[in-house]
A and B are shown apart, each in its own frame.
Chain A
Amino acid sequence: MSHEKLTLEEREALRQQTLVKHYTANILTHWFNVAMWLFLLPTGLGILLGKIYPFVPEAWNNLMNQIFGGLAPLIHWHSIFGQVWFFVLIFNVLFGFRKYFIPFAAQRMFMDRDDWKWLMIRPFQMFGFKKNQELPPQDAYNGGQKLYSYLVVVGTVGIGVTGLILTYSEAIPTSLQWIIQWAMPLHFLAVGTTFAGVIIHVYMGAIMPEERQAFFSMFTGKVNGLYAYLHHRKWYERKMAEKAAWEDFYNRQLEAVGVETPAEGGLEAPPAPEPAGGD
Chain B
Amino acid sequence: MTEEITREKWLLSRRQFLKGAALAGTGAALAKAGIFDLTPARAQGTTHFLPGPTADYQVYTMCEMCVWRCGVVAKVRNGVVEKLDGNPNHPHSLGNLCARGQSGLMMTYDPDRVLAPLMRVGERGSGRFRQATWDEALDFTAEQMLRIKDTYGPQAMVFSSTHNLSQPLFENLLNAYGSPNYGTQRSLCFNAMVTAHLLTYGIQEPARRYDGMKYIILTGRNLMEGISTSETRQLMEVISEGAHVVVLDPRFTKTAAKAGEWLPIKPGMDLAFHLALINVIVSENLYDRNFVNNYTVGFDELAESVKPYTPRWAAELTEIPEATIYRIAHEFAAAAPFAFAHPNWRTSNFVNSFQTERAVAVLNALIGICPEQGDCIFPEEDHVGLGSPPQPAYPRISAQRLDGVPWKYPLVPLKLGVFQEIRDNILTGQPYQARGWFFSRQNPIMSLPDQAKTIQAFEKLEFIVSVDIILNDSSWYADVILPEATYLERYDPVHAVGNRVFIRQPVVEPLGEARSALWIYRELGRRLGLQDFFQYVDEEDYIRQQIAPFGVTLEHLKQVGYFDVPREKKSGERIWDTPSGKVEIASETLRRAGFPAVPVWEAPPEPPAGRFYLLTGKVGQHTQFATQNNAYLTEVDYHTHDLWMHPLAAAERGIRDGDLVRVASDVGEVEITVWVTEGIRPDCVYMAPGFGHTSKGLKKAYGRGANASRVHVTYTDPVSGGQALTQTFVTVEKA
Contact = CB atoms under 8 A, between A and B. Distances in A.
Q: Do chains A and B touch in the complex (CB under 8 A)?
A: yes
Interface of A: 58-59, 61-63, 65-73, 76-77
Contact of A66 (B23, B29, B49): B29
Contacts of A73: 22-23, 25-26, 29, 48-49
B41 A62 contact: yes
B28 interface: yes
Contacts of A62: 36-41
B36 A68 contact: no
A76 B23 contact: yes
A121 to B, nearest CB: 47
Nearest to A62: B38
Given A68-B26, A69-B26, A73-B29, A59 B47 contact: no
Contacts of B28: 69
A63 B35 CA distance: 10
A66 B25 contact: no
Contact of A69 (B38, B39, B48): B48
B30 interface: yes
Given A59-B38, A72-B49, A67 B22 contact: no
Contacts of B42: 65, 71
Contacts of B37: 62, 66
Given A61-B40, A72-B47, 15 more contacts: A63-B36, A65-B41, A66-B33, A66-B36, A66-B38, A67-B29, A67-B36, A68-B29, A68-B30, A69-B25, A70-B29, A70-B47, A70-B48, A73-B48, A76-B26
A66 B22 contact: no
A72 B22 contact: yes
Contacts of A58: 40
Nearest to A70: B48
A143 B42 CA distance: 48
B47 A67 contact: no
Contacts of A68: 26, 29-30
Contacts of B26: 68-69, 73, 76-77
A65 B38 CA distance: 9
11 contacts: A59-B38, A62-B40, A65-B42, A66-B41, A67-B29, A69-B48, A70-B49, A73-B25, A73-B49, A76-B23, A77-B23
Nearest to B37: A66
> Can you list the 4 inter-chain pairs with the closest CB atoms, starting with the nearest?
A69-B29, A66-B36, A73-B26, A70-B48
B181 to A, nearest CB: 57
Q: Chain A interface secondary structure, helix, strand, loop or mixed?
A: helix
A58 B38 CA distance: 8
A62 B29 CA distance: 13
B48 to A, nearest CB: 4
B33 A70 contact: no
Contacts of A59: 38
B22 A70 contact: yes
Interface string B1-32: 00000000000000000010011011011100
Contacts of A63: 36, 38
B637 to A, nearest CB: 26
Interface in B296-332: none
A234 to B, nearest CB: 50
Interface-central residue, A58, A62, A70, by most chain B CB under 10 Å: A70
Contacts of B19: 76
Contacts of A66: 29, 33, 36-38, 41
A61 B19 CA distance: 21
A263 to B, nearest CB: 64
A100 B35 CA distance: 45
A68 B29 CA distance: 6
A59 B39 CA distance: 7
Nearest to A64: B36
B158 to A, nearest CB: 54
B47 A71 contact: yes
Interface string B63-99: 0000000000000000000000000000000000000
Contacts of A77: 23, 26
Contacts of B47: 70-72
A69 B28 CA distance: 8
A76 B27 CA distance: 13
Contacts of B41: 62, 65-66, 70
Contacts of B36: 62-63, 66-67
Nearest to A63: B36
Interface-central residue, B33, B36, B47, by most chain A CB under 10 Å: B36
A240 B41 CA distance: 62
Nearest to B18: A72
A69 B30 contact: yes
Contacts of A76: 19, 22-23, 26
Contacts of A67: 29-30, 33, 36
Interface in B458-488: none
B52 to A, nearest CB: 14
Nearest to A69: B29
A69 B30 CA distance: 7
Nearest to B29: A69
Interface-central residue, A58, A67, A73, by most chain B CB under 10 Å: A73
A192 B48 CA distance: 30
Nearest to A58: B40
B36 to A, nearest CB: 4
A72 B22 CA distance: 7
Interface in B414-432: none
Nearest to A66: B36
A63 B33 CA distance: 11
A77 B22 CA distance: 10
A63 B29 CA distance: 12
Contacts of A72: 22, 47-49
Interface string B40-62: 11100001110000000000000
A238 B39 CA distance: 60
Nearest to B35: A66
Nearest to B19: A76
